[in-house]
A and B are shown apart, each in its own frame.
Chain A
Amino acid sequence: MNEPILKTENLTHVYSPGTPFEMTALNGVDLEIRKGEILGIIGHTGSGKSTLIQHLNALIKPTSGRVLLEGRDINESKSAIRQARSRVGLVFQYPEYQLFEETVYKDIAFGPKNMKLSPEEIDRRVREAAGFVGVEELLDRSPFDLSGGQKRRVAIAGVIAMMPEVLVLDEPMAGLDPGGCREIMDNILSYHDKTGAAVVVVTHSMEEAARRADRMVVLNHGTVAMSGAPEEIFARGDELRKMGLAAPVMTELSQRLRALGVELPGTVYTVEQMAAALLELEGGRGRA
């Protein structure tokens, strides 16, 4: 198992403390992100997902507790914050609303420029990042002329261009059509596969989260309710439902099939796994 790159220790965040609107959004969260892993974070609306991930590159500060990047408190000094901002890339929810430059190229270049890289390096990174999300052809266009899915990919490229070792995305698939979801997921995975960066995806979509996550963390009312491999999490469908979530359709199907006496091997939570399991059964039947 890989060593952790980023950790939160007993992280607590209270909004508007001391006012009638005081709200404890996170309460004693211990989270570990390991080098090169894909971590899925799921939780009902208001469970604290967005608050949590904004701590990961020091956009907001803990009320108490710490965030450690390779053991160093990221809020310790200005230079630590700066380091965290370039090594941990954060893609907000609906990031397309934050595009503002005249061209796609300039928008993607914004982050690397702030990192004070050489013009050649900036150019190289913009083109590489555009390649990851498939917008090379659009570099000279105005971001405002693009479709919703394209805009979102440009916004993601802007973060990828900083070459973060941890790429964090807040509900990157929300509101896209199925084709758009698949493209974004593929883009994220290709960045992960080619660079070995850790990826943290906040999502509601259990199927999508299930497809590639190595580990999952479930937030409930500001605390970590579960964490483990997807199959461990999804096996607890009733608890998930009580937390306003859902188990993947295939997990539910496998539970029903077992109840109906169909013997399935292992844990199944994607269509591919279910098809493979059933084909094995079919093969067994054929030989019998």
Chain B
Amino acid sequence: MDDTAIKIENLTFFYPSEEEGQAPEDVLSGVDLTVEKGSFTAILGHNGSGKSTLARHLNALLLPKGGSVTVFGMDTRDEELTLEIRRRVGMVFQNPDNQIVSNVVEEDVAFAPENLGIPTPEIRTRVDEALKTVGMYEFRTHAPHLLSGGQKQRIAIAGVLAMRPKCVVFDEPTAMLDPQGRRDVMRIIGRMKKELGTTVILITHHMEEAAMADRVVVMSDGQIAMDGAPGEVFTRVEELEALGLTVPDTVKLMWELRQKGVDVPLDTLDVEECAKALAEHFKKK
């Protein structure tokens, strides 16, 4: 029971209809999801499937129209808890430019904890710590707008980490980054889970990133369409493709080979595993 970070029960949500007299359409309908503390969950889904809407429910930026969202035992509908919920659950968005608020990196990182009323000496420690975690400590006195997209995104993540959240929701954090920027963000996520025990929710279109999670949840039209370990979800190639998604290239390759009758395993999520499995098959006499 205490292991639960997030509990979503029968969550329904709609945005107000733009045209008068028209009934608004459900953007989320009947979502149930329980996320364990310290776990790393990836959320996939076509554009418009409701991923960002779901994410915004996790720190009370949006409130349920039906059902409930409970984070670390706190019901998001309880307004008295909103501040505490935002302190526990941080959000990182796609566009780093929209998340930078100050002209100096360390001031930027201090912004959120300052807003939460944390005492100044404590903020100093937290800011330094957060900047070290994301590997941007040497840049603490730089101007954020002169940094690369990937570096800006790491600053945005440091800003969230400085609040010492128990859970961080990343909404397509790598969509605007180059491969190096993406690798850096994924490495930071790995550290947060392992070293800080943070519960991580990662929304992404990159299957290779989702394959690193403990669990993959697939959304389609406001509902959960698939839910399981990456090795299980990504082997359902045709189902995923029908939902407008793909699988990691290594799985796709194995799937193509199996279609042609080659007896290789399907669940090779990374290059190393895939190479091993193929070598074993092709070196057998």
Q: Residues on A close to B: CB < 8 A?
A: 21, 43-46, 147-149, 174-180, 204, 206-207, 244-246, 248-250, 252-253, 256-257, 260-262, 271-272, 274-275, 278-279, 281-282, 285
Report whether B250 and A249 are in contact in the complex, using a CB–CB cutoff of 8 Å. yes
Q: Is the C-beta of B101 less than 8 angstroms from some C-beta in chain A? A: no
What is the distance, in angstroms, from A142's C-beta to the closest C-beta of chain B?
11
The answer to whether B175 touches A271, judged by C-beta atoms less than 8 angstroms apart, is: no
Determine if A260 and B47 form an interchain contact, defined as CB atoms under 8 angstroms apart. no
Contact B271 A244 (CB under 8 A): no
> Cβ of B48 and Cβ of A275 under 8 Å apart?
no
What are the 4 tightest A-B residue pairs by CB atom distance, in nearest-first order?
A244-B180, A179-B244, A256-B275, A260-B279
The total number of A-B Cβ pairs within 8 Å is 113
Please tell me if the beta carbons of B178 and A244 are within 8 angstroms of each other in the complex: yes
Q: A45-B149, A45-B181 are in contact. Are A271 and B252 (CB under 8 A)?
A: yes
Cβ contact within 8 Å between A204 and B245 = no
Q: Report the nearest A residue to B47, measured CB to CB.
A: A177
Provide a sorted-by-A list of 26 A–B residue pairs whose CB atoms are within 8 angstroms.
Answer: A44-B148, A44-B179, A45-B148, A45-B181, A149-B47, A175-B172, A175-B205, A176-B47, A177-B45, A177-B46, A177-B205, A178-B245, A178-B246, A179-B46, A204-B177, A206-B179, A246-B179, A248-B249, A250-B249, A257-B275, A261-B283, A262-B279, A272-B256, A275-B256, A275-B257, A279-B262
Cβ–Cβ contact A260 & B275, under 8 A: yes
A278 to B258, CA, bound (A): 11
Residues of B172-213 whose CB lies within 8 A of A: 172, 175-181, 183, 205, 207-208
A281 and B253 in contact (CB under 8 A), knowing A45-B181, A178-B246? no
Interface string of B251-285 (1 = CB under 8 A from A): 01100110010100000000110111011001100
| Minimal Cβ-Cβ distance residue in A for B252 | A271
Alpha-carbon distance A278/B261, docked complex (angstroms):
12
Contact A179 B262 (CB under 8 A): no
Complex-state Cα separation, A250 to B183, whole angstroms: 18
B94 near A: Cβ within 8 Å? yes
Contact of A260 with B271 at beta-carbon distance under 8 Å, contacts A250-B253, A271-B249 already known: no
B274 contact set on A, CB distance < 8 A: 253
Main secondary structure of the interface of A (DSSP, over half): helix
Which residues from chain B contact A253 at a C-beta distance below 8 Å? 250, 253, 271, 274-275, 278
Chain B residues with Cβ below 8 Å from A246 are 179, 183
> Is A260 within 8 A of B276, CB to CB?
yes
Would A249 and B208 count as touching, CB distance under 8 A? yes
Q: Which of A178, A246, A248 has the most CB of B within 10 A?
A: A178
Say whether B150 faces chain A, with CB atoms less than 8 Å apart. yes
Is the CB–CB distance between B179 and A244 below 8 Å? yes
Closest to A259 in B: B275
Residues from chain A with a CB closer than 8 A to the CB of B262 are 278-279, 282
Whether B245 and A177, one on each chain, are in contact in the complex, defined by CB atoms closer than 8 angstroms, is yes
Question: Could you tell me the distance between the alpha carbons of A248 and B271 in the complex, rounded to whole angstroms?
Answer: 11
Contacts of A207 in B (CB 8 A): 249
Contacts A46-B148, A253-B250 given: A278-B175 contact, CB under 8 Å?
Answer: no
User: What are the interface flags for B239-250 relative to A under an 8 Å C-beta threshold, 1 for contact and 0 otherwise?
Assistant: 000001110111
Give the CA-CA distance A21 to B250 in the complex, in Å.
44
B178 touches A249 (CB 8 A): no
Q: Which of B55-79 contact A (CB under 8 A)?
A: none
Could you tell me the distance between the alpha carbons of A148 and B260 in the complex, rounded to whole angstroms? 37
* Contact between A257 and B279, CB atoms less than 8 A apart: yes
Q: Are B245 and A179 in contact (CB under 8 A)?
A: yes
Shortest A277–chain B CB gap in Å is 10
The CA of A252 and the CA of B248, in the complex, are separated in Å by 14
B257–A252 touching, CB < 8 Å: no
